[in-house]
């Protein structure tokens, strides 16, 4: 491990975000801190004075968080990393694509486009692809499967909603559970990867796991194929099979740590 990850710092900075449940979740951020990162767990709705529901999103809020972390005296390097899952991974991909402060991005079971909510950033306004609620799947177990509720971003009318990942300053790593029953996350990641290759951006990577579901979390986290959401009347199906999902959590966590260590520089020179 590099010396910049131990002692009094400074340390590589990482912004950590979760998904559509909102609020502030800190367990992964705390674990990142134990591995030598200066980690900021970032809420973006349903917490304190933030909106209770996620409406239109202004990327400026996330830029302020990235700049705050860049400016912190305990944070090293020329930029920060972002790790996020689900709807948060959509926000994370937006950050990686548009914000110069972001040096590396990890998207766990996310999308390749803006969905549902309009995203703004200065003069830029990206329309959200409407959700297709008529395609919700009601399972025999009395749960909801949301994996078909997002429209195909390849349709001509949705092209303006796709993230131009080729503009990202730094590398992007997509972590995907192939048995995700909340998003068609493997499809979205492959689309982002194909776009990156089309525009000759070579540092976009995909690590996928057969049998793993949506809630890919650090190793030791409980396997959770179904749980209640505060925003739906029925529990949501996340997917996954016990052993392959747990193995995926073990392997992907190592991949994430290695990716962040490699791509967030420890030097304090030319700090933003």
Write down the pLDDT at residue 268: 42
Instruction: Establish if 270 belongs to a structural domain.
Output: no
**pLDDT band at residue 6 under the 50/70/90 scheme:** low
Chain position carrying tokens 């590398």: 171
Report the chain's mean pLDDT, rounded to a whole number. Answer: 93
The DSSP bridge partners found for residue 209 are 177
- Cα radius of gyration rounded to whole Å, the chain: 18
Read off the pLDDT of each residue in 12-34 and give the average, rounded to a whole number: 95
Does the reported pTM lie above 0.85?
yes
Q: Is residue 146 part of a domain?
A: no
Is position 70 annotated as part of the catalytic site? no
Residue 29: left if φ>0, alpha if ψ -120 to 50, beta else—which one?
Answer: alpha
Please state whether 114 falls in left (phi above 0), alpha (psi between -120 and 50) or beta: beta
- pLDDT value, residue 269: 38
Percentage of the chain surpassing pLDDT 90? 87
Q: Note the pLDDT of residue 271.
A: 42
Return the number of other C-beta atoms located less than 10 Å from residue 209's C-beta. 22
Domain presence at residue 152: no
Residue 257 lies in a domain: yes
Nearest to 87 by CA among 48, 46, 123, 141: 46
Marked catalytic residue, from 180, 184, 245, 246 = 180
Q: What is the CATH number of the domain that holds 41?
A: 3.40.50.1820
Burial grade of 183 (CB within 10 A; 0-12, 13-18, 19 or more): buried
Catalytically annotated residue among 70, 86, 107, 246:
86
Q: Classify residue 157 by its DSSP letter.
A: G
pLDDT digits (tens, 9 = 90+) for 63-115: 999 999 999 999 997 899 999 999 999 999 999 999 999 999 999 999 999 99
- Confidence bin at 230 (pLDDT 50/70/90): confident
For 129-158, what is the mean pLDDT? 94
Provide DSSP, 182-207.
SS-HHHHHHHHHHHHHHTT---EEEE
| pLDDT more than 70, % of the chain | 95
Predicted confidence (pLDDT) per residue in 150-182, tens digit: 999 999 999 999 999 999 999 999 999 999 999
The tally of domains found in the chain comes to 1
> Can you read off the two tokens belonging to residue 171?
């590398």
Domain that holds residue 49: 3-130+163-223+240-263
> Cβ distance 40 to 70 under 8 Å?
no
Question: Within a domain: residue 94?
Answer: yes
> Which tokens in the block code for residue 5?
């990850």
**Residue 7 forms part of a structural domain:** yes
Q: How far is CA 197 from the centre of its chain?
A: 20
Residue 83 is assigned to a structural domain of this protein: yes
122-139: burial string, b at 16+ Cβ within 10 Å, e else = eeeebebbeeeeeeeeee
What does the alpha-carbon distance between residue 229 and residue 117 come to, in Å, rounded to a whole number? 19
Cα 83 from Cα 103, distance rounded (Å): 11
Token pair of 114 as six digits: 């803006």
List residues bridging with 253 in a β-sheet: none
Looking at the domain assignment, is residue 141 inside a domain? no
Active site residue 86: yes
Residue 37 has pLDDT above 50, yes or no: yes
Catalytic member of 107, 214, 245, 246:
214
Answer whether 209's CB lies under 8 Å from 252's CB: yes
């Amino acid at each position: 491990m590099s010396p910049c990850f131990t002692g009094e710092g400074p340390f590589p900075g990482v912004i950590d975000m979760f998904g559509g449940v909102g609020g502030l979740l800190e367990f992964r951020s705390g674990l990142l801190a134990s591995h030598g990162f200066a980690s900021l767990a970032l809420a973006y709705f349903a917490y304190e004075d933030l909106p209770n529901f996620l409406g239109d999103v202004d990327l400026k809020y996330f830029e302020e968080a990235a700049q705050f972390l860049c400016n912190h005296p305990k944070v090293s390097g020329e930029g920060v990393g972002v790790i996020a899952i689900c709807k948060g991974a959509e926000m994370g991909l937006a950050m990686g694509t548009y914000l110069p402060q972001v040096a590396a991005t990890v998207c766990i079971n996310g999308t390749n486009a803006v969905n549902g909510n309009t995203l703004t950033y200065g003069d830029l306004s990206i329309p959200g692809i409407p959700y297709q609620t008529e395609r919700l799947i009601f399972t025999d177990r009395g749960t909801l499967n949301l994996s078909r509720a997002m429209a195909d971003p390849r349709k001509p009318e949705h092209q303006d909603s796709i993230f131009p990942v080729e503009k990202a300053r730094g590398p992007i790593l997509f972590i995907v559970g192939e048995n995700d029953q909340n998003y068609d996350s493997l499809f979205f990641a492959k689309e982002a990867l194909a776009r990156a290759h089309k525009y000759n951006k070579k540092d976009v990577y995909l690590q996928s796991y057969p049998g793993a579901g949506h809630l890919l979390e650090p190793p030791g986290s409980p396997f959770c194929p179904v749980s209640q959401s505060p925003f739906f009347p029925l529990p949501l199906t996340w997917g996954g099979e016990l052993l392959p999902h747990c193995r995926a959590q073990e392997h992907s966590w190592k991949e994430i740590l290695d990716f962040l260590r490699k791509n967030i520089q420890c030097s304090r020179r030319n700090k933003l």
